[in-house]
Amino acid sequence: MDRAPESIRSILATDCGSTTTKAILIERRPEGYRLVVRGEAPTTVEAPFEDVTRGVLNAVREVEELAGRRILDGERIITPQNSADGVDLYLSTSSAGGGLQMTVSGLVLQMTGESAQRAALGAGAIVMDVIALNDGRRPYEKIRRLRQLRPDMILLSGGTDGGDVRRVAEMAEVLRAADPKARLGAGYELPVIYAGNREAAAIVRDLIGGRTALLVVPNLRPTLERENLKPARDAIHELFMEHVMAHAPGYRKLMAWSPVPIMPTPGAVGIIIEKVAKRDRLAVVGVDIGGATTDVFSVFQGVFNRTVSANLGMSYSVSNVMAEAGIANILRWVPFAVEEVDLRNRIKNKMIRPTTIPQALEDLVIEQAIAREALRLAFEQHKALAVGLKGVQTERTISDIVSQAESGASRVDLGELGLLVGSGGVLSHAPRRVQAALMMVDAFLPEGITQLAVDSIFMAPQLGVLSSVHEAAATEVFERDCLIRLGAVVAPVGPGRAGQACVAIEIEPEAGGPSRHRAAFGELALLPLPDSGTVRLKVSPERGFDVGAGRGRPIEARIHGGVVGLLIDTRGRRPFALPDDPAARIARLRAWNRALSVYPREV
């Protein structure tokens, strides 16, 4: 992009999703960059249109109508801004057509296989399969699988630099024998990225160079102790533009409209989460729960990770949440008796008619129970992958390295987690904000002090790609117009018995004197916070309980206010358990719901 960021007066950004194309208009105002309006239109990648730009133009036309100003000249976005017409910058993200689908391979599933998976996920891909020499499948099974999958791209890794080349050659031979085809169009070569042992690069080139669009980049695991994912990720973005997007209907035209490369949607969300974490020096978890998939992003110890749970979601995938979580895990969050046959049929009816919405309060409660399990499972998957060495040099003993799969020390430390951001219909559009807060707390079980927020209209993708060219504008809009601060949760860790003294809280607003509160073990309580600004919080746990500074040690923090308030969760952590007896469980859930006014009436 040629233009200096400071000179940009207006920005138009679109996100082409599988079903909807969303456009936002951002303008520079005296107080900084602000979201002006948002428009949307159905995505037009599939027949009968088969041209993504139709949907983009329709969404932009809605923006024009809502903003009352001209952005298009016929079918052209006017850039730069010319008096009141047009915009200075146009950019876009895309997950249309199922997003970026990849197959990755490594030699050892838990080592290079896992590193390759992290590289692909971090770039915004859906990983269809991880193929490794030790994945338990026989070579012919691997070959058959590679032939069945029709990925957009393959990432081939394996071996440390200077290591044995024979095993790498074996994997490349498997790939050559499979002769996999690309998903979009049989008429072009499948892009393959090789990011393994550099000594084997020539062999890999000989084996598959002539049959695929091969790109060789530096090893993503140059040594056992070091992971270097950036070159592979950059190559994924490059090939996504050059090969995948260029073959998707209408994208060639769309690419010409923007001076900034089109980015895969989840890749862009990751960028904004990473930037916010860096700016506020916080460990952040972001979750986006959609109809078909749930994405989890995290930044812990400055390290970014992203996972996508491709079949956990609230409409298309709702039945899979039941299949994976089990009916008992969903029912444990429901504060009334439900017949299993009835619950199963309800969930399947939602799956076959995914656009329906809960009308009865009981139905909303069940949907929010399912959401808790979808979020919990997605977070479990995230914790399992966000492990080990990433991008930084870590001193580890050889025994750590050997036991990597077992130890799998997750980077996700719930005690360190400073901000939890939720997004997606069931969280962003929950009728009461406290419902969103409680769903996230129940699913993620944060420990100590954690701030909570929701993304109001899911514009994180557009802000992510914007942040790559104009960070200030992206973070200003993110903070002012995208993020709705809910407040925070205080959750002491440690076992206790109901009624036992657990924690004392002191809240000191920017103006006015402090207020003090006490909570016994086994409760949920809500204390008011100002909607905006910050407060100073002092949390003093009783002996045996830990809020981040050690058992019985007090902690102080400055936190943002929020529309829900400060949730005091003394229901216990490690373990957190609900009563097994159904009557006792229902009574407990009802008491907590009453305490927080979660629902308008008792269900």
Specify the residue, 368 or 467, whose C-beta has the smaller distance to another protein.
368
Specify the residue, 167 or 590, whose C-beta has the smaller distance to another protein.
167
CB of 282 to another protein, least distance (A): 32
* HSE of 589, CA atoms in CB hemisphere, 13 A: 25
Distance of CA 94 to the CA centre of its chain: 15
Among positions 103-162, residues that touch another protein (CB under 8 A) are: 139-140, 143-144
Specify the residue, 134 or 349, whose C-beta has the smaller distance to another protein.
349
CB of 541 to another protein, least distance (A): 35
How far is 374 from 377, CA to CA, in rounded Å? Answer: 5
Distance of CA 460 to the CA centre of its chain: 10
Specify the residue, 69 or 176, whose C-beta has the smaller distance to another protein.
176
Specify the residue, 7 or 359, whose C-beta has the smaller distance to another protein.
359
**Nearest Cα to Cα of residue 125 among 330, 306, 301:** 306
Q: Which residues pair with 215 in a beta bridge?
A: 193
CB of 309 to another protein, least distance (A): 12
The residue type at 379:
F
Burial of 236 (C-beta count, 10 Å sphere; 0-12/13-18/19+): buried
> For another protein, which stretch binds (CB under 8 A), given 49-57, 355-363, 457-465, 543-551?
355-363
Those residues whose C-beta lies under 8 Å from the C-beta of residue 277, and which sit 6 or more positions away, are: 283, 284, 299, 302, 304, 419
CB 520 within 8 A of CB 527: no
Contact pattern for another protein over residues 450 through 489, marking x by CB under 8 A: ----------------------------------------
CB of 90 to another protein, least distance (A): 25
Which residue in the set 218, 231, 302, 358 belongs to the binding site for another protein (CB under 8 A)? 358
SS3 357: coil
CB of 287 to another protein, least distance (A): 20
* HSE of 235, CA atoms in CB hemisphere, 13 A: 26
Those residues whose C-beta lies under 8 Å from the C-beta of residue 433, and which sit 6 or more positions away, are: 454, 484, 486, 563, 564
How far is 440 from 567, CA to CA, in rounded Å? Answer: 12
> For another protein, which stretch binds (CB under 8 A), given 259-267, 353-361, 477-485, 559-567?
353-361
Among positions 181-220, residues that touch another protein (CB under 8 A) are: 203
Among positions 291-350, residues that touch another protein (CB under 8 A) are: 292, 311, 316-317, 319-320, 322-324, 340-341, 344-350
Specify the residue, 31 or 339, whose C-beta has the smaller distance to another protein.
339
Those residues whose C-beta lies under 8 Å from the C-beta of residue 3, and which sit 6 or more positions away, are: 80, 88, 89
Enumerate the H helices of 386-491 as residue ranges: 398-402, 404-407, 425-428, 433-444, 460-467, 471-477
CB 576 within 8 A of CB 528: no
Specify the residue, 140 or 576, whose C-beta has the smaller distance to another protein.
140
Q: Which residues pair with 484 in a beta bridge?
A: 454
> For another protein, which stretch binds (CB under 8 A), given 174-182, 279-287, 477-485, 506-514?
174-182
Is residue 353 at the binding interface for another protein, with CB under 8 A as the rule?
Answer: yes
Instruction: Express the helix, strand and coil content of the chain in percent, nearest 5 each.
Output: 35, 25, 35
> For another protein, which stretch binds (CB under 8 A), given 2-10, 362-370, 378-386, 411-419?
362-370
The residue type at 224:
L
Among positions 414-433, residues that touch another protein (CB under 8 A) are: 429, 431-432
Angstrom distances, CA of residue 248 to CA of 60, 182, 243: 20, 12, 9
Is residue 22 at the binding interface for another protein, with CB under 8 A as the rule?
Answer: no
> For another protein, which stretch binds (CB under 8 A), given 164-172, 191-199, 374-382, 496-504?
164-172
Is residue 391 at the binding interface for another protein, with CB under 8 A as the rule?
Answer: no
Angstrom distances, CA of residue 169 to CA of 194, 209, 221, 391, 555: 12, 13, 17, 26, 55
Peptide bond just before 139 cis, omega within 30 deg: no
**Would you mind telling me the total number of residues written for the chain in this entry?**
603
Specify the residue, 313 or 492, whose C-beta has the smaller distance to another protein.
313
CB of 344 to another protein, least distance (A): 4
Is residue 34 at the binding interface for another protein, with CB under 8 A as the rule?
Answer: no
Specify the residue, 519 or 598, whose C-beta has the smaller distance to another protein.
598
CB of 521 to another protein, least distance (A): 32
Residue 305 in tokens? 């990770």
CB of 463 to another protein, least distance (A): 24
Contact pattern for another protein over residues 65 through 104, marking x by CB under 8 A: ---------------------------------x------
How many residues at the interface with another protein, by CB under 8 A? 54
- DSSP labels, 195-225: -S-GGGHHHHHHHHTTTSEEEE---SSSBTT
Specify the residue, 42 or 509, whose C-beta has the smaller distance to another protein.
42
Is residue 354 at the binding interface for another protein, with CB under 8 A as the rule?
Answer: yes
CB of 52 to another protein, least distance (A): 13
Specify the residue, 291 or 572, whose C-beta has the smaller distance to another protein.
291
Q: Which residues pair with 42 in a beta bridge?
A: 20
Is residue 364 at the binding interface for another protein, with CB under 8 A as the rule?
Answer: yes
Is residue 278 at the binding interface for another protein, with CB under 8 A as the rule?
Answer: no
Specify the residue, 120 or 171, whose C-beta has the smaller distance to another protein.
171
The residues that touch another protein, with contacts defined as CB under 8 A, are 18-19, 46, 98, 139-140, 143-144, 165-167, 169-170, 173-174, 177-178, 203, 292, 311, 316-317, 319-320, 322-324, 340-341, 344-364, 429, 431-432, 600
